Amino acid sequence: MKSDLRKNPQRSMGRYWLAMSDASAFTLVRSAIAIAHTLRRDMADQARIVPILSAPEIAVQLLTAAEAAWGKGKGTHLMAQLASLRGHDCVCRARAWMVLRDAVTSLPMVLWPPEKLAARRELLDDLERQVNAARAETAPLPSKLEIREQQWRDSVTGRGPHSAHPGESTWKN
């Protein structure tokens, strides 16, 4: 092939372009598998949800989402392919959505066709909405000021941590 390039470079360029294209596709697939492996690990570690698919199967789902230019409303479909969120609390669901959003964000941009880059943004927005919806279900933790105020109210009303509840007598028989 080397001598052929020297003799007739125009004829051999097609083979070189094809080889470079194959190497690029191979690199993209390997990147998708690495991202899928990270997604699977983080889903189990952070969200305590074990995906039903293996890393290569998750990579196929991610590549399909990019190639088909999944956009608005497809976030729930993508999550349903990866794991079931039923029976998990809102904190686990929020973390699972964040892990999926981070995985889609880390996919190479060249996976999306140039004319469909808006679909990528719509998919990320949809995943962000799912994160926010799951977070909205969580009860906010009281601030230090709110805790102190509640302690003062309890001390004024006489309902400290060791006081009786309303209707109970503090007198011992």
Q: Looking at per-residue confidence, does 161 or 120 come out higher?
A: 120
**pLDDT (tens digit, 9 = 90+) per residue, 8-60?**
555 555 555 555 566 777 788 888 889 999 999 988 888 888 888 888 888 88
**pLDDT (tens digit, 9 = 90+) per residue, 127-162?**
888 888 888 777 677 777 778 888 898 888 876 555
Examine the pLDDT at 2 and tell me if it is beyond 60: no
* pLDDT given at position 1: 43
Can you tell me the distance from the alpha carbon of 42 to that of 30, in angstroms, rounded to the nearest whole number?
A: 18
Q: Enumerate domains of the chain plus CATH numbers.
A: 2-157 (1.20.1280.240)
CB 120 within 8 A of CB 66: yes
